[in-house]
A and B are shown apart, each in its own frame.
Chain A
Amino acid sequence: AQSVSQHNHHVILSEAASLELGCNYSYGGTVNLFWYVQYPGQHLQLLLKYFSGDPLVKGIKGFEAEFIKSKFSFNLRKPSVQWSDTAEYFCAVNAVDSSYKLIFGSGTRLLVRP
């Protein structure tokens, strides 16, 4: 069965610090990969996605993620975080050749201190 692991449940950073959130998945076939963000009191929204092509994907608000197939990873990065990046971040995986199901990780709560 597919699964998604987000290793950091809580991350606290100061503004301007660099961010990297880990995401690993277990599935041997072709996958689509997503990062969603949930700001306090707001709905889940897509941050970025990978379907094919360049494994380095750029999303909104200066975020990027790199798909490393050999490591089954899709880590999220941002060079310099802002207070407004305080949110919960979810990695999600969809197996292209099996189902429409999005399998989510348990999320990482990011707190950025001003």
Chain B
Amino acid sequence: ETGVTQTPRHLVMGMTNKKSLKCEQHLGHNAMYWYKQSAKKPLELMFVYNFKEQTENNSVPSRFSPECPNSSHLFLHLHTLQPEDSALYLCASSQEMGGGSYNEQFFGPGTRLTVL
């Protein structure tokens, strides 16, 4: 256990559905991240929040919509997804952003998303 939880662990949805992924960290961290892990590709950073403010949107399509109501919770709202969006979505947190020693990221177990 890393102190970062994600729900649901598995999700199957149709292209017209709307669903949300949830991430919660119990580490007192201030920065939270969404990553996409597809087969045979490097982890792709999607969004970054620092003190609840979005600081990075890594050219992610608008069908993915993040929300960070507080420093402990992060959501990823999904709507009208495509089959190629099927992947493992990972949440991570770190004490702070920046290049120093406090940016070690702790990962959740991920949500395995399948879009039919």
Contacts and interface: CB of A to CB of B under 8 A. Distances in A.
Contacts, number: 57
Nearest to A92: B43
A43 B107 contact: yes
Given A43-B2, A94-B99, A106-B40, A100 B104 contact: no
B107 to A, nearest CB: 4
B100 A96 contact: yes
A75 to B, nearest CB: 18
B99 A106 contact: no
Interface in A94-113: 94-107
A70 interface: no
A45 B3 CA distance: 11
Interface of B: 2, 4, 31, 40-43, 45, 48, 56, 90, 94, 97-101, 103-110
A111 B47 CA distance: 32
A90 interface: yes
Contacts of A32: 99, 101, 103
24 contacts: A9-B40, A30-B99, A32-B99, A42-B109, A43-B4, A43-B108, A43-B110, A44-B107, A46-B104, A51-B100, A51-B101, A94-B99, A95-B99, A96-B99, A97-B99, A98-B99, A99-B99, A100-B97, A100-B98, A102-B43, A102-B105, A104-B43, A106-B40, A106-B41
Given A43-B2, A43-B108, A90 B101 contact: no
Given A44-B107, A46-B104, A49-B104, A104 B99 contact: no
B42 A104 contact: yes
Nearest to B31: A100
